[in-house]
Structure 1
Amino acid sequence: MTGKLDAAFGFHETALRLRSERQGVLASNIANADTPNYKARDFDFARALQQATGSADPAAAAATPAPALARTAPAHIATGAAGTLVAGNAPLLYRTGTQGGVDGNSVDMEVERNAFTDNAVRYEASVTLINTQIKNMLTAIQG
């Protein structure tokens, strides 16, 4: 029974985890809007979701391998296959700004606010969808 529930909700769990991680990245960009030489970061949500669910094209994944980090001392923290990966093993990329700042900061507050709001709305929509599915299952069980 738990296998069927995992199959039913596994995709949504992965999507929510990635949305949450993206929200943190976008919040970091907003928080560092006035930090000199800060470069805005983001990741391709669709690619991360495909890689996390195993539906990514293996040929495309092999064409763009993630950069690996070497541990040169035993005290270094292990990073796994790559150092700047999000939950879906998609690389955390630098966002190219439309207009560069004098201080080298690439955060565009309008872009960041729009991305933050869009991500939050999609997160809430996913939670609402999951709640609806659970209510439907309870209705089917209880009769």
Structure 2
Amino acid sequence: MAISFENAFGIHPEALLIRDKRSQVLAENIANADTPGYKAKDMDFQTALAGAQSRQSGSLGRTDPKHFEISTARHAEAQYRIPNQPDTGDGNTVDIHEERNAFTRNSMEYQTTLNFLNSRISSLKKAITGATH
């Protein structure tokens, strides 16, 4: 009997990829906090995850179970963020405090998703090997 990783892990692998991409976008914002004219970007995780769920539920269904899945995380797009502070004169819209908070929160959520996946893998491993500890 084959193990269906899609059934075992659900949307969590895609969530991990989306969080990884968001962390890259936030890191770029932090790195460019002093770059004149740089516009802060972000990703709407909920929208990206909803898109991943709709694609996973069949709108981009595979024609054969042996075909590879299309990674939905590639479809998650970063968009320019509406600034919360007035322009300081150099055209940069990065609020370093907001970026650090968003990056920290995203990192914690990434770790939570990773812990969940590790737990599922551990459970599957126990089911396959019959280990009781």
TM score, norm. by length of structure 2: 0.76
On the 8 A contact 1:51/1:88 being kept in 2, the answer is: no
* Residues 1:112 and 1:140: Cα distance change in structure 2 (over 3 Å): same
SS of equivalent to 1:87:
helix
Q: Percent of counterpart pairs with the same letter? A: 46
Summarize the alignment of residues 74-113 of structure 1 with structure 2, pairs less than 5 Å apart. 87=73, 89-99=75-85, 100-113=87-100
* Residues 1:135 and 1:51: Cα distance change in structure 2 (over 3 Å): same
- Offset at 1:2? 5.1
One-letter amino acid matched to 2:78: L
- Offset at 1:135? 1.1
Question: Partner of 1:54 in structure 2?
Answer: 54
Unaligned runs of 5+ in 2: 56-71
Q: In the aligned structure 2, how far is the partner of 1:2 from the partner of 1:43?
A: 36
One-letter amino acid matched to 1:5: F
Query: Among residues 97, 100, 103, which one is paired with 1:116 in the alignment?
Result: 103
Q: 1:45 aligned to 2:54?
A: no
Q: In the aligned structure 1, how far is the partner of 2:16 from the partner of 2:53?
A: 12
> What RMSD in Å do the two structures reach over aligned CA positions?
2.1
On the 8 A contact 2:8/2:120 being kept in 1, the answer is: no
Unaligned runs of 5+ in 1: 56-85
Question: Partner of 1:129 in structure 2?
Answer: 116
- Offset at 1:7? 2.7
Q: 1:8 aligned to 2:5?
A: no
TM score, norm. by length of structure 1: 0.71
- The number of equivalent residue pairs is 114
